Amino acid sequence: KAGVTQTPRYLIKTRGQQVTLSCSPISGHRSVSWYQQTPGQGLQFLFEYFSETQRNKGNFPGRFSGRQFSNSRSEMNVSTLELGDSALYLCASSLENVGKRNSPLHFGNGTRLTVT
Amino acid sequence: EDQVTQSPEALRLQEGESSSLNCSYTVSGLRGLFWYRQDPGKGPEFLFTLYSAGEEKEKERLKATLTKKESFLHITAPKPEDSATYLCAVRNSGAGSYQLTFGKGTKLSVIP
């Protein structure tokens, strides 16, 4: 079974630009979450989607946004990039059914974003 | 606010030298405590879920335990391939979210 796939693996952008990252969850998983990982802050929650609806959002500015499509694939967008947005962006999916509300998150290998 | 603190930040062990990693947590209602392993350049890989105090889970040389305030990841006779960063995370029992709150991890190095 294929794991969580994130594209692209690496991105280099300039301050002020915008970027879109893509995530394909494990087949059958309808819940998709995004996390930002930096050496100083560790993994921080960005947002979570289920059935095309944002269910929860972390404490990030409005420049960070996302969406989920009907096939459960998800994208996140960062507008007006800042140097501090340089990080590893991780997508995770989870199998969510009645009686499985404690299913773990399964992570992709991330997109490494560098803002110069 | 949920909080997770892991210690030590880094640990160097000789091959075969057993030890434990600590994860202290504060959460209003624990729905689950999760352990992950992360190798450089990769995403976290799921290891265990623990749900209630007293629970234990084992996988090869790893054993995770849970109390009401802490979790321990015991590594028995580690090998160099166990070198990685180990992450602990908690899920709050608040309805409608799969959000995890992570600790900053323990970087384990096992020296041959």
Q: pLDDT digits over B51-101, tens only? A: 999 999 999 999 999 999 999 999 999 999 999 999 999 998 775 677 899
From A92, A79, A76, A81, select the one nearest A5 (Cα to Cα).
A92
| A101 shares contact with chain B (CB less than 8 Å) | yes
In chain B, where the domains are located: 3-111
Query: Which residue's entry shows tokens 């995370």?
Result: B89
Which residues, 6 or more positions from B105, have their beta carbon under 8 angstroms from its beta carbon? A42, B6, B9, B38, B85, B86, B87, B88
- CB crowding B54-86: b at 16 or more within 10 Å, else e: eeebeeeebbbbbeeeebbbebeebeeebbbbb
From B38, B9, B11, B5, select the one nearest B23 (Cα to Cα).
B5
Q: Using alpha carbons only, what angle is made at residue B11 by residues B39 and B105, rounded to the nearest 5 degrees?
A: 50
The beta-carbon neighbor of A42 closest among B32, B42, B105 is: B105
The beta-carbon neighbor of A42 closest among B43, B51, B104 is: B104
The beta-carbon neighbor of B49 closest among A31, A104, A106 is: A104
The answer to whether the Cβ–Cβ distance between B102 and A43 falls below 8 Å is yes
Q: How far apart are CA B100 and CA A76, in angstroms?
A: 18
Which pLDDT value is given to residue B75? 98
Residues of B with CB under 8 A from a CB of A: 31-32, 34, 36, 41-46, 49, 51, 87, 89, 91, 96-105
From A107, A103, A115, select the one nearest A34 (Cα to Cα).
A107
Q: What is the DSSP letter of B80?
A: G
Mutate to test the interface with B, among A45, A105, A112 (most CBs of B within 10 A): A105
Q: pLDDT digits over B85-97, tens only? A: 999 999 987 756 7
CA distance B13 to chain A (A): 23
Q: pLDDT digits over A20-79, tens only? A: 999 999 999 999 999 999 999 999 999 999 999 998 999 999 999 999 999 999 999 999
Burial of A55 by CB count in 10 Å (0-12 exposed, 13-18 middle, 19+ buried)?
Answer: middle
Q: Specify the CATH class of B3-111 in words.
A: mainly beta
Q: Chain A contacts of B41, Cβ < 8 Å?
A: 109
Task: State the average pLDDT for chain B.
Answer: 94
Which pLDDT value is given to residue A98? 55
Q: Are B106 and B75 in contact (CB under 8 A)?
A: no
